[in-house]
A and B are shown apart, each in its own frame.
Chain A
């Protein structure tokens, strides 16, 4: 323990924490939590269901709020106000945040018809990060009348990455892994999904056709498709044993037998001209050109332990119509040595992996989790792979319905590499309340 304490002292985390914890901001933070506690902890949080015997409508929602503390790497000029090394460190990321303010309506009519409407009011006002937090989360309906196939039509989650399919509220983390949080590929779109389950839902097969514009279809370009008129096509298959495996990452129920799931998916889209937001950080979410994505995943649960591994690769062939020099994909990377126009290859690759190991303890109502997370947004550029270890802890007051969550992101990278986007450690702690 002494060694660990020394290490914390050396890297300044403990000192920083103490300073912050005795500050006015922390007192405000603590006070906010006490208010949360007193008003919600004793109440029942079940959602409301209305039914007329044929049509049942369920109303649910969620609220979550957090405090974010970033431990800045002082030598980086990007951390200074206006990127000016002479100015003080820009601490604008040390803040309270409202992550979720969601309302969800789910309905079932008869045996064959279901619908889902979900809105996040907190994100509707913040359009800077539509990939991870779009304002509209679901607006779709499903028809099961064909029996052999289910059809889901409307704005929906794309059945591609398993990690993306796990509802965020069932997680001790405050952020998804970099590769799956919506910057590298879109997580939602408008379109049609066909699905089929086999062998008591152990095997699931999905195929979908979408606009290819991702979340931006609702907010940019007037809802129009790309001038090419092309669509995005997505397919996924997964297999579970010995029984069906829901898209959940934590074994809170302590499965008495080992459970496994493996899955694979692919998607392809061709854009002629991307005149809309391509993503905040990596310019990868929607690109002008052809983009093929592949993923494979594996999950395991047993007696409270769980593990997931997910691998992603993107093969991207830009048209460069907007950017003949190819600088669009490296404008923030600081190098011009490997422009696409002069490189023998017409494509570049991006991708990453995430691996999570977790334990859920019922006696102490807790989830412990560690996640390794890697992303390389462009393989034509050397040394720009981002890596982090994230530690998460959740104390479940009432299961996932009322849960205190804390995560600490520890960056496993060369902090002097100017190509890296994220190298500051970050602590985020807060509370989520689900009305469900």
Chain B
């Protein structure tokens, strides 16, 4: 009886699965340069979702899915935390005027003061896309003096915003499966995709994809460049801060 059972299984597998698996393996291919982290640090922040360099370049601002804003040193150690508690912070950017934080769930950009991380201003950017497919990133395009806000997926929009967060223009972005974070460095726009486990380099003038770099980490949600030019990436699920050599990104 057992033999009949095993034979019938083998018959099914041999005659159906092998061609099936052959097609699968035939279709496997590698298509991008891989970046490997050389340093990592566990954060005492639950579900970190984005990161940016602070204005004094001696630490980072990190936001979390719990709606919290933190300032850390360059090793990821928390130095202070904002009192205001939002809902689902997904993007952060800082300049000499404040820290700007994007709440994905409410579509609100909050501005915090640099001195005490107190909430100064909240502006809504209307967007009716999925609750968890809303704004994932906020960054500054110095060449156009505009903020850029990115929606996560279905579709991935880039909203161009003035300094008061009024929408000037929006366009669709092609390339990544989704967007987790975005940052400028040396005139290039770098976009992080969680689903692709990759960073995409774009020409910000044409918004054309130039190159793709695979990452070796789970659930990357935020990226920024350190004072020495190193690439930093935070992992949401693992609550980890990773450092990469950024040279390959510019080759």
A residues at B contact (CB < 8 Å)? 1, 3-4, 7, 44-51, 53-54, 56, 58, 60, 106, 108, 111, 200-201, 242-244, 252-257, 259, 304, 359, 361, 363-364, 366, 368, 370, 372, 387, 389, 391, 398-399, 401, 408, 410, 412-414, 436
B residues at A contact (CB < 8 Å)? 4-5, 8-9, 12-13, 15-17, 19-21, 23-24, 27-29, 31, 46-47, 67, 85, 87, 105-108, 124, 127-131, 133-134, 153-155, 177, 194-197, 214-219, 237-239
The reply to whether B131 and A106 contact each other, CB–CB distance below 8 Å, is: yes
The reply to whether B106 and A56 contact each other, CB–CB distance below 8 Å, is: yes
The reply to whether B129 and A256 contact each other, CB–CB distance below 8 Å, is: no
The reply to whether A412 and B8 contact each other, CB–CB distance below 8 Å, is: yes
- Chain A residues near B5 (CB, 8 Å)? 387, 412
The reply to whether B238 and A243 contact each other, CB–CB distance below 8 Å, is: yes
Q: A361-B24, A368-B20 are in contact. Are A111 and B87 (CB under 8 A)?
A: yes
CB distance from B240 to the nearest CB of A (A): 10
The reply to whether B16 and A53 contact each other, CB–CB distance below 8 Å, is: no
Closest to A200 in B: B239
In the complex, number of A-B residue pairs with CB atoms less than 8 Å apart: 123
A81 to B14, CA, bound (A): 35
A363 to B27, CA, bound (A): 7
CB distance from B153 to the nearest CB of A (A): 8
Q: Specify which of B8, B13, B194 lies most central, judged by the most chain A CB atoms within 10 Å of its CB.
A: B8
Q: Report 16 cross-chain contacts, Cβ distance below 8 Å, ordered by A residue.
A: A46-B155, A48-B128, A58-B131, A111-B87, A243-B238, A253-B194, A253-B196, A254-B197, A256-B214, A257-B218, A364-B27, A366-B27, A387-B8, A389-B13, A414-B4, A436-B154
A259 to B238, CA, bound (A): 12
The reply to whether B16 and A391 contact each other, CB–CB distance below 8 Å, is: yes
The reply to whether A108 and B105 contact each other, CB–CB distance below 8 Å, is: yes
The reply to whether B218 and A256 contact each other, CB–CB distance below 8 Å, is: yes
CB distance from B197 to the nearest CB of A (A): 5
Closest 3 CB pairs of A and B: A46-B154, A243-B237, A389-B12
A401 to B177, CA, bound (A): 13
CB distance from B88 to the nearest CB of A (A): 9
The reply to whether B9 and A389 contact each other, CB–CB distance below 8 Å, is: yes
The reply to whether A412 and B131 contact each other, CB–CB distance below 8 Å, is: no
- Chain B residues near A106 (CB, 8 Å)? 131
A7 to B5, CA, bound (A): 19
- Chain A residues near B85 (CB, 8 Å)? 111
